Amino acid sequence: MFANSHNQTNSHANPGWHATTILCVRKNGNAVIIGDGQVSVGQTIMKASARKIRRLGKDNQIVAGFAGSTADALTLFERLEAKLETHPGQLTRACVELAKDWRMDRYLRRLEAMLIVADKDTTLVLTGNGDVLEPEHGVVAIGSGGNYALAAARALMDEKKLSAEEVGKRAMQIAADICVYTNSNFVIEKIG
């Protein structure tokens, strides 16, 4: 989970809630977003096969994954789809407009989720702090096991024979082996 300007951490609002690892890998002109399926409350696995990755846009060429509150993330997905309709073919502009609304709107400010959004050319991370970040090194991850998946993927990126999907799968498996809030029920969406 992430800290924002209104709460010190999500643990105050939802003690014991943990969920997910979402990873995006971009390599050799290909990209994938991979998410695990685990949702936990405290030490209990509530669901092992949740789907935290969605295709967006009229042509389904944009893929988004979320970490955090499901209802909040689905609200953000709906808002992003509306921004994409207003700014077709302009993922970055649509994300910036969403981030502005998310930061400024009293209702949206309370939403607790993070998003990774990608199309064939761009990968972005959106946060409730108003951030729209384009990651370096072709890799970004969010969620409970995000740092594990990110470190593993960065280490694997130099393996020339591995595709973006293979790097992503191996990195997510490493995260699942380390993080108790991440499992191996992966959903994989290819981009482009």
141 C-beta neighbours (distance < 10 Å), count: 29
Closest CA to 123 of 112, 114, 136, 113: 136
Do 31 and 123 form a contact (C-beta atoms < 8 A)?
Answer: yes
Between CA 8 and CA 19, with CA 14 as vertex, the angle to 5 degrees is 100
Residue type for position 121: D
CATH 3.60.20.10 is right for the domain spanning 10-191: yes
Q: What is the DSSP letter of 68?
A: E
CA 13, CA 183: separation in Å to the nearest integer?
Answer: 24
Give the contacts of 90 (CB within 8 A, at least 6 positions apart). Answer: none
Nearest C-alpha neighbor of 41 from the set 19, 22, 20, 13: 19
pLDDT at position 17: 42
Per-residue model confidence (pLDDT) at position 19: 66
Residue with tokens 């955090």: 68
> Using CA atoms, how far apart are residues 31 and 151, in angstroms rounded to an integer?
17
Catalytic residues: 20
Matching residue, tokens 């502005």: 100
> Is residue 95 within 8 Å of residue 83, measured between CB atoms?
yes
For residue 59, the 8-state DSSP code is T
> Whole-prediction pTM value?
0.88
Q: How far apart (Å, rounded) are the C-alpha atoms in residues 56 and 45?
A: 28
Distances in Å between the Cα of 75 and the Cα atoms of 52, 98, 146 are 13, 11, 22
pLDDT of 134 reads 95
> Mean pLDDT by 10-residue block, N- to C-terminus, for the chain (192 residues)?
37 49 96 94 88 93 92 90 95 95 79 91 92 94 96 97 97 97 96 83
